[in-house]
Amino acid sequence: QDSHFLTDADMVMSFVNLVEHDKEFFYPRYHHREFRFDLSKIPEGEAVTAAEFRIYKDYIQERFDNETFRISVYQVLQEHLGRESDLFLLDSRTLWASEEGWLVFDITATSNHWVVNPRHNLGLQLCVETLDGQSINPKLAGLIGRHGPQNKQPFMVAFFKATEVHLRSTRSTGGKQRSQNRSKTPKNQEALRVANVAENSSSDQRQGCKKHELYVSFRDLGWQDWIIAPEGYAAYYCEGECAF
């Protein structure tokens, strides 16, 4: 599925979870977990074509060995003093306790909403329930949180495509900001490492902005284990001084 997203995108970014301390939730949301991501650094003119929340699940074989769980991811719509927030279900999965690997949840719609309306970005909530509706601690289901290994930390990945429609405020006249943002390396999962695509032009050798070719190798990204073919795809990036 991600190979399809890559075909339609010209930029991929990953976002780390900004939550450092578990929030105290009221019953029956006592075991909910909160995740927040900063989408404010996305370059102007980029539209979200797809976005995913990813969390790693370890194999467990103890008290829940033969059970199945329902894992649900919600958008936080509005927060309130003294009572729980309003939530909207984005995606859910049902899986065996013995399953292991990265779980992927579609959060495309809410990501677009956050880009257009940053003040509405109140994050996500995740909950884990047994099939009889009992809420449990995500750790007991094998989900890896922020205290887990660095390469298994939960994160968000978004795929972007340039658009002529300005989604936010007037674009900055700094011509290099867009190309620099495009070539930044996402920090979270090694599967999403992206190398620098170009060196910045020196101040005395400035050139006009133009499109350059960029070949994205799935092997360089660490995706060769699950993308058998093709070996990569042709992408593009912009570099140079913007005249507008």
Encode pLDDT of 120-164 as tens digits.
999 999 999 988 888 888 888 899 988 888 889 999 999 988 775
pLDDT at 72 exceeding the cut of 90: yes
Inter-residue contact 174 to 203 (CB < 8 Å) = no
In a domain, 167, yes or no: no
pLDDT score for 242: 66
Do 111 and 184 share a domain, yes or no?
no
pLDDT score for 35: 94
In a domain, 244, yes or no: no
Task: Kindly state the percentage of the chain with pLDDT values over 70.
Answer: 58
pLDDT score for 185: 43
Average pLDDT over residues 71-90: 87
Do 94 and 212 share a domain, yes or no?
no
In a domain, 168, yes or no: no
> What gap in Å lies between CA 194 and CA 48, rounded to an integer?
18
pLDDT at 229 exceeding the cut of 70: no
Coil, helix or strand at residue 201: coil
Average pLDDT over residues 210-239: 64
Name the average pLDDT for the chain: 74
Do 136 and 69 share a domain, yes or no?
yes
Which residue range is the domain that position 225 belongs to?
177-239
Q: Which of 113, 131, 162 is the last residue before a domain boundary? A: 162
Do 70 and 183 share a domain, yes or no?
no
CA neighbours closer than 13 Å in the CB half-sphere of residue 78: 5
Domain with residue 62: its CATH number is: 2.60.310.10
Do 22 and 95 share a domain, yes or no?
yes
In a domain, 81, yes or no: yes
Do 25 and 119 share a domain, yes or no?
yes
Do 23 and 130 share a domain, yes or no?
yes
pLDDT confidence of 46, banded at 50, 70, 90?
confident
Do 206 and 148 share a domain, yes or no?
no
Do 70 and 191 share a domain, yes or no?
no
* Structural domain count of the chain: 2
Do 139 and 57 share a domain, yes or no?
yes
Do 187 and 128 share a domain, yes or no?
no
Do 147 and 35 share a domain, yes or no?
yes
pLDDT score for 31: 80
Size of the chain in residues: 244
> What gap in Å lies between CA 120 and CA 163, rounded to an integer?
22
